[in-house]
């Protein structure tokens, strides 16, 4: 390799990106951009405004919001001045923004930005320390479950637009807390038992029970009672019908309130024509502390695919978070899309299809040929490319003063249209154009294309591009 | 204010973004997005690939690249692991990427991302600690000045698309270094004298001379000789004609080489039809150490505007930077757009015009009315909004179970089309549609719109939107 012979100018150090981070370029970036655009358009269809917050926040803003996970926060060095940390998610910055704008009573906002977690990275499975989140939230006081239903509709619309089949698992924190209450879980163990229940999507009940009893000191009979309830799942109508027959559920005010919410939600999801996408799953618990009502996780239906990415979006209602900043509480409900996981699935599909090219390749290659006095016609090639750029056509030329014919054809490989210049023809106000995609290079150098008036250039090129299906 | 009565749940701290940073939302974000889209489209027209790098880099990567300005770099705390810093610009990450990809021999890349500098912020003048850069660079070995000319063409095209009149001031580091050489500046003072010269766009010659003589210990006669040369500026053809008559310039190999480059560049800029945008200004020096050839700065022609933002884009050739990573050197030329300054100018213009609305407002408001048994028809309003969303129409409804008529008309203020539902009409498969923008609210509640078949809804709404000029 050419670089082996170079003499390092300074002591060598490892040339890489920091642990758990990576560069993105070309086709991958275009695919990611396409996901962002799809999501943004649907957010705006629902009247959401975009929000952009700084990549770091005052450390006090993040403090006390993430429980144990706070150890994963990246801190900035104290270089004199304020203590700051990189954002850990987009929810806390939004809550901070809401607390700062107490005049905003109701708002839908979306934010697409990178977040930072000093976790153990697993790059092949798409788990990085720097990764994108894409959040949509509805803040403010509304009639019950109305914004919750709209968030789920937004989720369905986005994955429909991305052509990804999904199931939305839903549950309700009050139902779950009520069940723990009925089963006899002490109040101070509610959250830790809740996170054990949340593992039921990956582990069998026996293992989860073992964790509750052995690690978390829950009496065996309490765990058994939990197990009886939380392993139930099904359609909303089946589940609601069945749960409403359980007397102790209807007697528990938490469960009762949660079931009322779910009944109302069902009628709205039916009206919005997305009820078939939803599964009511009592084992869904979600890790974060701040959820207070409806919770949900989106699972992709990757039929037969080998990619197992877990949930690709998740969220819920968090009515207490904004109030933590000492201002008036603002009820919120929202969803966060797991962009990197969605990317992984779509990327595998695109690679499988192979046909779709995400890179914007050149459409026209501008060449020049001549006899023994040939000076390369570089300014003339530049001028022609300039006319094409002006018309919004992606044009290139070989950036050499005196290019050889074969070098130009090689560089034009895959470009559908060639514009060919000759000294005498240019003097007569003429250029040649030619479709080159399907031909072999050998033959191409012989066929000299169609002679046209230079003033017709853009029009002729557009016709050739159209004929080539572009 | 409602928030005054709330009891803080935790000790109060200042609710704000970190010093020198700010939130962005709504119309401002849409305007910024519009600048990004304009630039990206032109970069891609020229065959550039997008690149995205991590927000932080290994500290060693940034070390020794920024001279005195390195003190403005934000460091991450050492939390066990690698030492990292937030990126200071997009050029060094690109050079690192090139050094890591020695198989990439020639590439055009662009990157639009935030960079971080612990500078004294001046928010009103658009100077922040977190701000966007938008870079376009051409890397690799090419025939002289060919990529340089293309970068300038890209600059002209972008500002043309943004409808901003500009002048590009250009100069050449070799010419400047040669002039210092001729004038008798000691080699170790070249860069510090160069940065004094760079102040000539803001300060008169006397002050700059004072800095050279008093602060930088340059002999007075040396400073005078510099002053004689560097205050010259004009069109490329005038300047080249005049400079080529100076014997000592033609005898100095540095100046000679710079003038050859400039002569070649002139022929390419003429071919690309942008020569009238360029002014050859010998006082342009640029601060950064790594420039090695052509340098340029873009100055807006804000006729009569009160906004003075300085240069809105700048760049040049830096052939030595990639080699600093101990690999094969890769010659590069590029430009960085000052997004925040461009934003400030365009924002002032938009505000002046007032007419242009950047926010995506709702297009349709879905309402319901009824008699004394009226239940609000919320699921029905949701279903209708769902049909409109599906058709890509921005629809809203009042998120209340039983909304009053006037509350719905108030919420619909400014929305051009209303869809109105009644129980009996819905039962007969019909809804009412109505253009509401121009009317007064009073009258609007009385006119009940046109009764149409529900199956024609999307089509009828589209016609009304079209009639409203949307």
CATH code: domain of residue B339: 3.30.930.10
CA distance B48 to B28: 27
- Does A1 contact B102 at a Cβ distance shorter than 8 Å? yes
In this prediction, residue A387 carries a pLDDT of 93
Mean pLDDT rounded to a whole number for chain A: 88
Question: Which candidate in B358, B386, B392, B421 is best for mutational testing of the A interface (most A CBs within 10 A)?
Answer: B386
Same domain (yes/no): A198, A56: yes
CA distance B301 to B335: 19
Question: Which residues lie across from A14 on neighbouring strands?
Answer: none
pLDDT band at B308 (very low <50, low <70, confident <90, very high): low
Which secondary structure element, helix H or strand E, spans residue A124, and what is its range?
none
| Virtual torsion, Cα B200, B201, B203, B206, nearest 10 deg | 30
Residues 6+ apart with CB under 8 A from B92: B57, B61, B62, B65, B321
CA distance A444 to A417: 11
Any domain includes A21: no
Is residue A309 over pLDDT 60?
yes
Q: Which residues of A touch B401 (CB under 8 A)?
A: 143, 146
* Helix, strand, coil percent values for chain A (each to nearest 5): 45, 20, 35
Q: Which residues of B touch A23 (CB under 8 A)?
A: 51-54, 97
Same domain (yes/no): B327, B369: no
CA distance B207 to B227: 11
ipTM above threshold 0.90: no
In this prediction, residue A8 carries a pLDDT of 44
Any domain includes B21: no
CA distance B269 to B265: 6
Between residues B127 and A32, the one the model is more confident about: A32
Q: Which of B29, B55, B157 sits opposite A52 (nearest CB)?
A: B29
Question: Which candidate in A7, A8, A21, A25 is best for mutational testing of the B interface (most B CBs within 10 A)?
Answer: A25
Count CB atoms within 10 A of the CB of residue A10.
12
End-of-domain residue from the set B314, B332, B353: B353
Domain count, chain A: 2
Is residue B90 over pLDDT 50?
yes
- Mean pLDDT for the stretch of residues A151-178: 95
Parallel, antiparallel, or unpaired for β B332-338 and B313-317?
Answer: antiparallel
In this prediction, residue A4 carries a pLDDT of 39
CA distance A449 to A429: 16
CA distance A339 to A345: 10
Same domain (yes/no): B370, B392: yes
Any domain includes B436: yes
Q: Tell me which residue of A296, A288, A286 sits closest to A72, measured CA to CA.
A: A288
Parallel, antiparallel, or unpaired for β B49-52 and A24-25?
Answer: antiparallel
CA distance A122 to A126: 6
End-of-domain residue from the set A353, A388, A412: A353
Task: Judge contact between A432 and A396, C-beta under 8 A.
Answer: no
Task: Judge contact between B309 and B345, C-beta under 8 A.
Answer: yes
Cα→Cα distances A11→A386, B71, B127, B299, B329, Å: 44, 22, 35, 40, 16
Same domain (yes/no): A341, A232: yes
> What digits encode the pLDDT tens for the residues B136-190?
999 999 999 999 999 999 999 999 999 999 999 999 999 999 999 999 999 889 8
Q: Give contacts of A 226-255 with B, CB under 8 A.
A: none
Q: Tell me which residue of A399, A379, A385 sits closest to B142, measured CA to CA.
A: A399
CA distance A156 to A273: 10
What's the DSSP call for residue A127?
B
Task: Please identify which residue in the block is written with the tokens 């049909």.
Answer: B387
- Does A50 contact B17 at a Cβ distance shorter than 8 Å? no
Q: Which residues of B touch A10 (CB under 8 A)?
A: 64, 324, 326
In this prediction, residue B302 carries a pLDDT of 67
Is residue B445 over pLDDT 60?
no
Any domain includes A20: no
Local structure of B368: helix, strand or coil:
strand
In this prediction, residue A6 carries a pLDDT of 43
Output the six-digit token pair for A258.
């949660």
End-of-domain residue from the set B319, B353, B387: B353
Task: Please identify which residue in the block is written with the tokens 């050492």.
Answer: B78
The alpha-carbon gap from A198 to the nearest alpha carbon of chain B, in Å, equals 29
In this prediction, residue B215 carries a pLDDT of 93
pLDDT band at B27 (very low <50, low <70, confident <90, very high): confident
Any domain includes A1: no
- Does B77 contact A81 at a Cβ distance shorter than 8 Å? no
> What digits encode the pLDDT tens for the residues B265-286?
999 999 999 999 999 999 999 8
Could you give the percent of chain A with pLDDT greater than 90? 70
In this prediction, residue A121 carries a pLDDT of 82
Output the six-digit token pair for B93.
């990450």
Least confident of B3-7, B203-207, B265-269, B280-284: B3-7
In this prediction, residue B14 carries a pLDDT of 82
- Does A142 contact B399 at a Cβ distance shorter than 8 Å? yes
In this prediction, residue A216 carries a pLDDT of 92
Q: Which of B3, B18, B53 sits opposite A23 (nearest CB)?
A: B53
Is residue A355 over pLDDT 50?
no
DSSP string over B436-463: -TTS-HHHHHH---EEEEGGGHHHHHHH
Task: Judge contact between B155 and B298, C-beta under 8 A.
Answer: yes
CA distance B443 to B449: 11
Residues 6+ apart with CB under 8 A from B145: B261, B264, B265, B268, B294
The winner for highest mean pLDDT among A349-353, B181-185, B196-200 is B181-185
Could you give the percent of chain B with pLDDT greater than 70? 91
Task: Please identify which residue in the block is written with the tokens 């009226």.
Answer: B374
- Does B102 contact A326 at a Cβ distance shorter than 8 Å? no
Q: Tell me which residue of B408, B415, B350 sits closest to B378, measured CA to CA.
A: B408
Same domain (yes/no): B154, B227: yes
CA distance A395 to A386: 8
- Mean pLDDT for the stretch of residues A53-82: 91
Same domain (yes/no): B281, B233: yes
In this prediction, residue B369 carries a pLDDT of 93
Question: Which candidate in A26, A83, A327, A375 is best for mutational testing of the B interface (most B CBs within 10 A)?
Answer: A327
In this prediction, residue B437 carries a pLDDT of 60
Same domain (yes/no): B250, B293: yes
**Cα angle at A460 between A454 and A462, to 5 degrees?**
130
Any domain includes A359: no
A117 carries a ligand binding annotation: yes
> What digits encode the pLDDT tens for the residues B234-257?
999 999 999 999 999 989 999 999
Q: Which residues of B touch A375 (CB under 8 A)?
A: none
Tell me, yes or no, if B120 comes closer than 8 A to chain A by beta carbon. no
Where in the sequence is the domain holding A298, given as residue range(s)?
26-353
Angle between helices A146-161 and A253-271 (to 10 degrees): 50
Same domain (yes/no): A272, A420: no
Same domain (yes/no): A73, A182: yes
Tell me, yes or no, if B213 comes closer than 8 A to chain A by beta carbon. no
In this prediction, residue B8 carries a pLDDT of 44
Q: Residue B336: what are its φ and ψ, rounded to 5°? A: -120, 125
Mean pLDDT rounded to a whole number for chain B: 88
Is residue A441 over pLDDT 60?
no
- Does A30 contact B10 at a Cβ distance shorter than 8 Å? no
In this prediction, residue A347 carries a pLDDT of 87
- Does B17 contact A328 at a Cβ distance shorter than 8 Å? no
In this prediction, residue A361 carries a pLDDT of 79
CA distance B381 to B142: 62
In this prediction, residue B371 carries a pLDDT of 86
Residues 6+ apart with CB under 8 A from B175: B254, B255, B258, B259, B262, B282
CA distance A110 to B53: 23
Same domain (yes/no): A302, A371: no
In this prediction, residue B307 carries a pLDDT of 55
Tell me, yes or no, if A391 comes closer than 8 A to chain B by beta carbon. no
B347 carries a ligand binding annotation: no
Q: Which of A51, A76, A328 sits opposite B77 (nearest CB)?
A: A76
Output the six-digit token pair for A306.
């080998």
Task: Judge contact between A286 and A297, C-beta under 8 A.
Answer: yes
Q: Tell me which residue of A167, A161, A142 sits closest to A45, measured CA to CA.
A: A161
Task: Judge contact between B321 and B288, C-beta under 8 A.
Answer: no
In this prediction, residue B290 carries a pLDDT of 82
Q: Which of A6, A79, A118 sits opposite B327 (nearest CB)?
A: A6
pLDDT band at A103 (very low <50, low <70, confident <90, very high): confident
Question: Which candidate in A50, A79, A393 is best for mutational testing of the B interface (most B CBs within 10 A)?
Answer: A50
Any domain includes B9: no
- Does A396 contact B271 at a Cβ distance shorter than 8 Å? no
In this prediction, residue B96 carries a pLDDT of 94
Task: Judge contact between B83 and B58, C-beta under 8 A.
Answer: yes
- Does A77 contact B79 at a Cβ distance shorter than 8 Å? no
Local structure of A281: helix, strand or coil:
strand
> What digits encode the pLDDT tens for the residues B388-399?
999 999 999 999
CATH number of domain containing A452: 3.40.50.800
In this prediction, residue A286 carries a pLDDT of 86
- Does A26 contact B12 at a Cβ distance shorter than 8 Å? no
Same domain (yes/no): B252, B182: yes
What's the DSSP call for residue A18?
P
**Cα angle at B316 between B312 and B318, to 5 degrees?**
140
CA distance A350 to A28: 10
Same domain (yes/no): B61, B206: yes
Local structure of A21: helix, strand or coil:
coil
Could you give the percent of chain A with pLDDT greater than 70? 91
Burial of A75 (C-beta count, 10 Å sphere; 0-12/13-18/19+): middle
Any domain includes A5: no
Output the six-digit token pair for A356.
């779709």
Q: Which of B146, B273, B379 sits opposite A383 (nearest CB)?
A: B273
Is residue A363 over pLDDT 60?
yes
- Does A75 contact B75 at a Cβ distance shorter than 8 Å? no
| Virtual torsion, Cα A289, A291, A294, A295, nearest 10 deg | -50
- Does B9 contact A323 at a Cβ distance shorter than 8 Å? yes
Least confident of A300-304, A367-371, B117-121, B422-426: A300-304
Is residue B102 over pLDDT 60?
yes
DSSP H helices in A272-417: 339-353, 378-390, 405-411
Angle between helices B146-161 and B253-271 (to 10 degrees): 50
CA distance B233 to B168: 12
pLDDT band at B427 (very low <50, low <70, confident <90, very high): very high
pLDDT band at A307 (very low <50, low <70, confident <90, very high): low
- Mean pLDDT for the stretch of residues B84-105: 93
In this prediction, residue A352 carries a pLDDT of 59
Q: In whole angstroms, what separates CA A176 from the centre of its chain?
A: 29
pLDDT band at B357 (very low <50, low <70, confident <90, very high): very low
- Does A327 contact B3 at a Cβ distance shorter than 8 Å? yes
In this prediction, residue A5 carries a pLDDT of 39
In this prediction, residue B7 carries a pLDDT of 45
Count CB atoms within 10 A of the CB of residue B108.
21
Local structure of B318: helix, strand or coil:
coil
């Amino acid at each position: 390799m050419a670089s082996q012979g170079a003499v390092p100018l300074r002591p060598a150090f490892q040339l890489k990106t920091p642990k758990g981070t990576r560069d993105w370029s070309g086709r991958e970036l275009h695919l990611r951009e396409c996901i962002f655009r799809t999501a943004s358009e649907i957010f705006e269809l629902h009247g959401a405004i975009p929000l952009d917050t700084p990549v770091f926040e005052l450390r006090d803003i993040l403090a006390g919001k993430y429980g144990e996970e706070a150890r994963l926060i990246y801190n900035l060095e104290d270089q004199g001045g304020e203590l700051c940390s990189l954002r850990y998610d987009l929810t806390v910055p939004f809550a901070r923004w809401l607390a700062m704008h107490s005049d905003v009573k109701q708002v839908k906002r979306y934010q697409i930005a990178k977040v930072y977690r000093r976790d153990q990275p697993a790059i092949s499975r798409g788990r990085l320390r720097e990764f994108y989140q894409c959040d949509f939230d509805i803040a403010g006081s509304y009639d019950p479950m109305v914004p919750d239903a709209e968030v789920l509709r937004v989720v369905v619309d986005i994955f429909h637009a991305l052509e990804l089949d999904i199931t939305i698992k839903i549950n309700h924190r009050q139902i779950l807390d009520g069940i723990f209450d009925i089963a006899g879980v002490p109040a101070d163990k509610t959250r830790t038992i809740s996170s054990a229940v949340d593992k039921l999507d990956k582990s069998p009940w026996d293992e989860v029970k073992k964790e509750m009893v052995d690690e978390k000191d829950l009496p065996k009979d309490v765990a058994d009672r939990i197990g009886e309830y939380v392993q139930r799942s099904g359609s909303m109508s089946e589940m609601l019908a069945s749960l409403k027959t359980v007397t102790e559920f209807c007697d528990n005010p938490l469960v009762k309130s949660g079931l009322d919410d779910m009944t109302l939600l069902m009628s709205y999801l039916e009206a919005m024509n997305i009820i078939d996408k939803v599964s009511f799953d009592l084992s869904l618990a979600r890790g974060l502390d701040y959820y207070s009502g409806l919770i949900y996780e989106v699972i992709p239906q990757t039929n037969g695919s080998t990619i197992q990415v877990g949930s690709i979006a998740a969220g819920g209602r968090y009515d207490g978070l904004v109030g933590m900043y000492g201002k008036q509480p603002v009820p919120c409900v929202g969803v966060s899309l797991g962009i990197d996981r969605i990317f992984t699935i779509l990327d595998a599909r695109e690679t499988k299809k192979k046909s779709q090219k995400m890179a914007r390749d050149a459409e026209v290659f501008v060449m020049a040929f001549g006899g023994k006095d040939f000076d390369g016609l570089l300014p003339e090639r530049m001028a022609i490319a300039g006319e094409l750029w002006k018309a919004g056509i992606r044009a290139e030329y070989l950036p050499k003063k005196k290019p050889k014919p074969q070098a130009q054809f090689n560089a034009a490989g895959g470009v559908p249209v060639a514009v060919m210049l000759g000294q005498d023809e240019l003097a007569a106000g003429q250029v040649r154009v030619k479709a080159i995609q399907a031909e072999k290079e050998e033959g191409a150098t012989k066929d000299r294309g169609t002679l046209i008036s230079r003033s017709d250039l853009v029009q002729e090129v557009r016709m050739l591009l159209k004929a080539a299906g572009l």
